[in-house]
Amino acid sequence: MQQMGDDQSGSETGRTLILDELLGYALRRAQLKVFKDFEEAMREYAIRPAQFSALVVVEEMPGVTQSELAQRLAIDPPRVVNLVHDLEKRGYAVRVRCKRDRRSHGIFLTKPGEALVTTLKRLSVESDARASVGLSEDERAHLLRLLRKIYDTPEAP
């Protein structure tokens, strides 16, 4: 290994000069690692990250419409259709036509859906703890705060 690289490369540290100074690259690497554990934890319930976040939002906002859900999760409406359709097909959620505006569908969890999301939230917290085992409690809180600053800052147009 490293036969061709050793004699010509300037780096033996496992770091490149620029990649590890870029937030985008560091964010991607960190996210890949955290998601890997998360997906592993959810595998038993066949729940993908996007489905998990949808379940959690519906639990906290019963009757949320699909367009609201799309906005809240920062995903496109067509994705929400499939997402919710699958949850409904599996008996975890139902769509109820809104009486006031019959174009809208409010989403509610079923009893099994409530039970599932309770379990999944516990698993997600455990997975998150594993992923951040190298961080102190202060560091973890600080990281969260900085990440929110990134994605809450409106982009300059």
Partner DNA sequence: TATTGTTATACTCTATAACTATA
Partner DNA sequence: TATAGTTATAGAGTATAACAATA
Q: State the residue for tokens 């959690």.
A: 56
CB 84 within 8 A of CB 117: no
What does 133 interact with, of a copy of itself, DNA, none (CB < 5 to 8 A by kind)? Answer: a copy of itself
Residue 104 neighbours by CB distance under 10 Å: 17
What does 45 interact with, of a copy of itself, DNA, none (CB < 5 to 8 A by kind)? Answer: none
Give Rg (Cα) of the chain.
20
What does 91 interact with, of a copy of itself, DNA, none (CB < 5 to 8 A by kind)? Answer: none
CB 155 to DNA: min, Å: 14
| Residues of the shown chain interacting with DNA in the complex, contacts defined by CB under 7 A | 1, 32, 36, 48-50, 65-68, 75-82, 84-85, 95, 101-105
What does 10 interact with, of DNA, a copy of itself, none (CB < 5 to 8 A by kind)? Answer: a copy of itself
| H-run or E-run covering 81 | helix 77-89
40: tokens are: 């592993």
Q: What is the rounded distance in angstroms from the CA atom of residue 130 to the CA atom of residue 145?
A: 19
**Residue number with CB closer to DNA (79 or 121):** 79
**Residue number with CB closer to DNA (4 or 137):** 4
